[in-house]
């Protein structure tokens, strides 16, 4: 993983792998949307605007759902209200729940499509594989950032299971759970403690640099000591999700090229992606949303806990099946590219 890729010359502005992959995913999804819209004789500029709307609303919805899913993390009594608020809105630290962004962005984009009088079902078909392309690149960003990690797995080899460096999300989680091997614990000087002397969290490398700015020898010694530390071995859930998303995108584009009733590509995306996400969630270390282990014991009769994404996956699978049968009928004639209205120049 590589959280910070480089810094811009002269400005000393860091470029993070997580943010860069979000941009790459957005551009990749937008390129595919333009290609499919031209094939379907829909003005591609509409999808450019729709992509911007989806990007903003998707990030907002994804971050909001992540914060709600991990509410205890962002209401930490050891931090002030301002610190918790900053942590909640700081997307550079990672933490975007795909389904939260997906649902909110879908509503916003459908609203925009209605305003522009776009064939909504055909527009949904175009967007479906683009979502998977964006998700695939986004999960690469998660891997580079060290967030959205898998559950502990000490028996499987790399790259199925991997270790993350010091002070990344997996390391901090294992530190909180007191599950780190003694050899992987940070020195006492690199541990932030509470008012009673209890260990709260390991200091990040930035924290160490700031704390010992006036003692460079001690700072360098501490940074050297924490450099080789790593988390316990966890499932490589991020790249597994990337591979799955790209395979689904490829399948959806292939299905789109075949005669089909409008809307069924989107329905098929839900039918395939939601169950696959349910399975992938079993590899991840997400808090229980419902089930016997949930904070409020919601749906405690269930045989096992469900994370937020697992819970939503069940309903999205059902929605996909319903839409598949609802979107029936003959294929439309939007299968071969034709000229756009006068004055419009499309660039594939």
Query: Regarding predicted confidence, which is higher, 152 or 69?
Result: 152
Q: What is the pLDDT of residue 70?
A: 72
Nearest partner of 144 among 249, 324, 27, 16, judged by Cα: 16
Q: What is the pLDDT of residue 276?
A: 96
Compute the average pLDDT of residues 240-261. Answer: 94
Do the Cβ atoms of 348 and 38 come closer than 8 Å? yes
Alpha-carbon distance of 135 to 252, in angstroms, equals: 14
Q: What is the pLDDT of residue 335?
A: 52
Three-class secondary structure assignment of 84-123: HHHHHHCHHHCCCCHHHHHHHHHHHHHHHHHHCCCCHHHH
Chain mean pLDDT for the chain: 85
pTM recorded for the entire structure: 0.81
346, pLDDT greater than 50: no
Compute the average pLDDT of residues 239-261. Answer: 94
Residues in the chain, how many? Answer: 348
Q: What is the pLDDT of residue 263?
A: 93
183, pLDDT greater than 50: yes
pLDDT-derived band at 339 (thresholds 50, 70, 90) equals low
Q: What is the pLDDT of residue 52?
A: 87
Nearest partner of 304 among 317, 291, 321, 315, judged by Cα: 291
Beta-carbon contacts of residue 303 (< 8 Å; ≥ 6 apart) = none
Phi, psi of 75 (to 5 degrees): -125, 35
Which tens digit of pLDDT belongs to each residue from 70-96? 776 777 777 777 777 777 777 666 567
Q: What is the pLDDT of residue 245?
A: 96
Query: Regarding predicted confidence, which is higher, 321 or 258?
Result: 321
Phi, psi of 17 (to 5 degrees): -60, -35
Q: What is the pLDDT of residue 92?
A: 62
Which tens digit of pLDDT belongs to each residue from 24-61? 998 999 999 999 988 888 888 888 888 888 888 888 88
Beta-carbon contacts of residue 179 (< 8 Å; ≥ 6 apart) = 152, 232
């Amino acid at each position: 993983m590589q959280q910070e890729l480089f810094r811009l010359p002269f400005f000393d502005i860091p470029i993070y792998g997580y943010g860069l992959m979000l941009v790459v995913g957005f551009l990749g999804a937008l390129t595919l949307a333009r290609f499919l819209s031209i094939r379907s004789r829909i003005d591609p500029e509409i999808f450019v605007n729709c992509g911007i709307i989806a990007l903003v609303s998707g990030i907002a919805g994804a971050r909001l759902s992540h914060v709600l899913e991990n509410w205890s993390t962002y209401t930490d009594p050891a931090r002030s209200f301002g610190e918790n608020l900053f942590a909640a809105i700081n997307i550079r630290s990672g933490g975007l729940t795909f389904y939260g962004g997906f649902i909110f962005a879908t509503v916003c984009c459908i609203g925009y499509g209605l305003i522009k009088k776009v064939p909504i079902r055909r527009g949904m078909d175009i967007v479906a594989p683009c979502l998977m392309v964006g998700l695939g690149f986004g999960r690469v960003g998660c891997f580079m950032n060290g967030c959205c990690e898998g559950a502990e797995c000490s028996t499987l080899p790399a790259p199925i299971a991997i270790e993350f460096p010091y002070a990344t999300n997996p390391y901090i989680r294992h530190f909180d759970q007191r599950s780190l091997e003694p050899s992987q614990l940070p020195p006492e000087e690199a541990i932030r403690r509470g008012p009673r002397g209890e260990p709260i969290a390991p200091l990040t490398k930035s924290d160490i640099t700031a704390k010992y700015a006036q003692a460079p020898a001690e700072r360098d010694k501490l940074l050297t000591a924490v450099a080789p530390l790593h988390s316990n071995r966890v499932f490589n859930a991020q790249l597994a999700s990337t591979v799955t998303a790209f395979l689904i995108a490829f399948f959806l584009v292939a299905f789109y090229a075949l005669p089909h009733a409008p809307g069924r590509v989107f329905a098929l995306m839900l039918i395939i992606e939601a169950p696959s996400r349910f399975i992938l969630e079993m590899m991840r270390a997400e808090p229980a949303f419902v089930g016997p282990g949930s904070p409020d014991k919601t749906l405690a009769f269930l045989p096992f806990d469900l994370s937020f994404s697992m819970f939503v996956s069940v309903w999205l699978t059902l929605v996909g099946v319903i839409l598949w049968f609802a979107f029936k009928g003959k294929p439309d004639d939007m299968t071969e590219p034709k000229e756009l209205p006068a004055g419009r120049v499309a660039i594939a």
